[in-house]
A and B are shown apart, each in its own frame.
Chain A
């Protein structure tokens, strides 16, 4: 008992599928170390959601997801010593802590010539090459591996530039996306040549085409599976989705990922048929409206669940939209298709946003989920070290409240008569980090959650018919 209290409490999952993820992730990491020892397959450091998994898998390259390893260090509350290592090298603690953790780990491993002592799950294997990406998304993605070359100068980098047109309320993005597409295609073909050079193998385009088709099917399946969470009560929440994102982000273009969602879908259908929810007595349906989770504090989801709050939807890590809903040109060339899919995903909410004055794609996506998933409130997490996903959240909530007020309430006027007015959805921004536990206070977080629940309850009681 005493022993258990010292360790972070393990998060309880609502689905069997989510519970099966832990061993799967452990297998990636030990698998890459096995492959390193065998020396038959090439290992590449790389980032998730760059639409290049099909290319890597078709050429038998084993991706080492460096963000994932940093996240694992966070979940296991083992990131601090790697962050301190990075600080001692001269990196500021205000920078992306995923990258700091990875750089601290890599420098240590290179210095020792072996894994640092007690490395989580055997540690992160040394790569043969690194694939970074310049997106309109994340500065650390172009800087991290470049900084890592200070300790691994012999490991080459290929940086894929993957831009997309930014939203402009007055312009149709299709006017410019032709040259974006051409650029992305050039970038991806450059990646193919680079990997061919590194592996000494030629790309098998038939295999690539099959894998791209498999990815497309998986995208559709993920969408359909997640849409099942619209059910009341909701069968699976965001706490679980922070696990079920694993096949989606780390195993795309594999049959295993596809099969995972087949099983998850079936499990959710069964739970819905039995009327089984993520929480026993569902009182509030919340949207995880932005921000990466605090990996060391996933248990906060259980705390929210214990108050009757369920999370039917989240914007985080749900980086797919069904291919059949995408308005993109058809092509037989798999590389061209990947590039269109990239543009199709990032511009998916543009038309809708243009049609609602004052809206913007991120806000539009929130509104879509609020309506489809019957949401009562929005929760976001502001991770101090990551600008990529956490700058713009306040503005999104501000704009959402301005253009979207779905709650009718009676306001008592001075004359004692009730006036019906429309109110915005309650929202909560939690503050901490992705893996820097020194920024987290359980007491503060839970006090905030308590106040938010009190707000939701008072809205529930004053909501006018």
Chain B
């Protein structure tokens, strides 16, 4: 590949020195609110005049502080984020929002909230089921969340504030979709590593700056007349948050292309939109409860058959596989993850039903396993070629 352009170098810099911009903003008095999960309604934070900031882990950094306060049986991704936070890597935060996502997040809430001593900490109780009463409850819960932010910023967060926040966040999602479009070509115009890096960085910036960055990246990629890559197997990555590029780099170094995903910091964060024609709270409740497809949420088996159930639950995988013409998928989960772990056989069955070859990897969120991953991915790519 040719030399990096200005915008891609900026992406690299923000990726390596994660939180650079948030640190600057925090020094200028802006309140930065951290989160780790797709379930946190970001529009609310933006509407309150604060900046939502997605925490990252680091697979290359050994856990040195985290284990003093948290068991090693929690999700290794959460464990890494917690370790970095304890080491002061995110000391520019004014607060954090933790949602009712998985046990690793919820059971560690006390450890997070007591040991980081941030001015603001809030728990958003996301319902586990999707029923009419769940939406009603969730709206109340969103209102309590809104009130807590109002207490922090000492000004009301109005419906009008929410509506404009919804608009800019939706714009962000539109731009991300446009970026994904560049991967539909074969070979793709944009690599998986480039895209994921951009998305990781985009989630660390105020939403307006995030939009600007995406515009610049879109313009830059738009100038690519043809794909800079050799043809190779087209891969979908399925799983939770994958915010270190090593997995994608391994696939791409071995001649594969990551063209799409169903991961948190990919389509799970960026695909569902908030309906701008509905009352803001209702629309937000709808997006975060019905729109986010995470194994944590229980969706009733309406079909009454296993085949019908997996089609309803994992239909997004089928949709992305088809529209991005994938040749194979990597289901990548972390050890100790109950929500994903209990779905593995059902997901495997679904991949079989749509005839997409699958490699299942359970990993530790540690660079120590890279060697093992390489061997298995190489064999898989050879198999599907």
Q: Name the interface size band of chain B.
A: 35 or more
Residue numbers in B under 8 Å from A132 (CB-CB): 298
At the interface, yes or no: B338 with Cβ under 8 Å from chain A? yes
Is there an interface contact between B341 and A94, defined as CB atoms closer than 8 Å?
yes
Is there an interface contact between B110 and A150, defined as CB atoms closer than 8 Å?
no
Is there an interface contact between A388 and B71, defined as CB atoms closer than 8 Å?
no
Name B61-84 residues within 8 Å CB distance of A: 68-71, 73-74
Is there an interface contact between A139 and B108, defined as CB atoms closer than 8 Å?
no
Docked complex Cα distance between A95 and B339 (Å): 9
Name A159-197 residues within 8 Å CB distance of B: 159, 161, 163, 165-168, 175-176, 179-180, 182-183, 186-187, 190
Docked complex Cα distance between A99 and B131 (Å): 25
Which one of B88-96, B259-267, B300-308 is at the A interface? B300-308
Docked complex Cα distance between A134 and B333 (Å): 22
Docked complex Cα distance between A180 and B141 (Å): 9
Most A Cβ at <10 Å: residue of B107, B301, B336: B107
Question: Given A140-B338, A149-B309, A159-B300, does the pair A387, B111 have CB atoms closer than 8 Å?
Answer: no
Is there an interface contact between B341 and A382, defined as CB atoms closer than 8 Å?
no
**Distance of A144 from chain B, by nearest CB (Å):** 7
Is there an interface contact between A139 and B102, defined as CB atoms closer than 8 Å?
yes
Docked complex Cα distance between A180 and B103 (Å): 20
Residue numbers in B under 8 Å from A362 (CB-CB): 110
Question: Given A142-B128, A391-B107, does the pair A95, B345 have CB atoms closer than 8 Å?
Answer: no
Most A Cβ at <10 Å: residue of B128, B141, B301, B344: B128
Q: Name the interface size band of chain A.
A: 35 or more
Name B99-117 residues within 8 Å CB distance of A: 100, 102-104, 106-111, 114-115
Question: Given A90-B360, A139-B102, does the pair A150, B73 have CB atoms closer than 8 Å?
Answer: no
Residue numbers in B under 8 Å from A99 (CB-CB): 342
Partner of B103, one of A144, A165, A176, A388: A388
At the interface, yes or no: A395 with Cβ under 8 Å from chain B? yes
**Distance of A46 from chain B, by nearest CB (Å):** 15
Docked complex Cα distance between A142 and B128 (Å): 8
At the interface, yes or no: A119 with Cβ under 8 Å from chain B? no
Residue numbers in B under 8 Å from A190 (CB-CB): 131, 133
Partner of B137, one of A136, A179, A396: A179
Residue numbers in B under 8 Å from A89 (CB-CB): 345
Residue of A with least CB distance to B338: A139
Residue of B with least CB distance to A171: B148
Is there an interface contact between B133 and A146, defined as CB atoms closer than 8 Å?
no
Is there an interface contact between A143 and B342, defined as CB atoms closer than 8 Å?
yes
Question: Given A94-B341, A143-B343, does the pair A360, B71 have CB atoms closer than 8 Å?
Answer: no
**Distance of A169 from chain B, by nearest CB (Å):** 8
Docked complex Cα distance between A168 and B309 (Å): 38
Chain A binding surface, main DSSP class: mixed
Is there an interface contact between B342 and A183, defined as CB atoms closer than 8 Å?
no
**Distance of A142 from chain B, by nearest CB (Å):** 5
Is there an interface contact between A395 and B70, defined as CB atoms closer than 8 Å?
yes
Partner of A394, one of B70, B136, B137, B360: B70
Question: Given A91-B341, A149-B301, A163-B100, does the pair A134, B109 have CB atoms closer than 8 Å?
Answer: no
Residue numbers in B under 8 Å from A156 (CB-CB): 301, 304
Residue of B with least CB distance to A95: B341
Partner of B298, one of A95, A134, A385, A387: A134
Residue of B with least CB distance to A398: B69
**Distance of A187 from chain B, by nearest CB (Å):** 7
At the interface, yes or no: B123 with Cβ under 8 Å from chain A? yes
Partner of B74, one of A147, A183, A187, A387: A387
Residue of B with least CB distance to A160: B129
Partner of B70, one of A134, A150, A183, A391: A391
Residue numbers in A under 8 Å from B144 (CB-CB): 175-176
At the interface, yes or no: B140 with Cβ under 8 Å from chain A? yes
Partner of B342, one of A147, A165, A398, A399: A147
Is there an interface contact between A387 and B338, defined as CB atoms closer than 8 Å?
yes
Produce 1/0 per residue, B293-333, CB < 8 A to A.
00110101100111001000000000000000000000001
At the interface, yes or no: A92 with Cβ under 8 Å from chain B? yes
Name A358-415 residues within 8 Å CB distance of B: 358, 360, 362, 382, 384-388, 390-396, 398-399
At the interface, yes or no: B287 with Cβ under 8 Å from chain A? no
At the interface, yes or no: B362 with Cβ under 8 Å from chain A? yes
Is there an interface contact between A391 and B342, defined as CB atoms closer than 8 Å?
no
Docked complex Cα distance between A142 and B309 (Å): 15
Produce 1/0 per residue, B113-150, CB < 8 A to A.
01100000101010111010110110011001000000
Residue numbers in A under 8 Å from B131 (CB-CB): 161, 186, 190
Name B129-180 residues within 8 Å CB distance of A: 129, 131, 133-134, 136-137, 140-141, 144
Is there an interface contact between B298 and A159, defined as CB atoms closer than 8 Å?
yes
Docked complex Cα distance between A315 and B114 (Å): 22
At the interface, yes or no: A287 with Cβ under 8 Å from chain B? no
At the interface, yes or no: B374 with Cβ under 8 Å from chain A? no
Docked complex Cα distance between A140 and B104 (Å): 12
Question: Given A149-B301, A395-B70, does the pair A139, B309 have CB atoms closer than 8 Å?
Answer: no
| A385-B73, A396-B110 given; 6 more Cβ-contact pairs under 8 Å | A90-B344, A91-B344, A94-B335, A138-B103, A187-B133, A392-B111
**10 residue pairs from A and B, CB less than 8 Å apart:** A90-B360, A92-B333, A142-B298, A146-B301, A153-B304, A153-B306, A166-B125, A382-B73, A387-B338, A391-B108
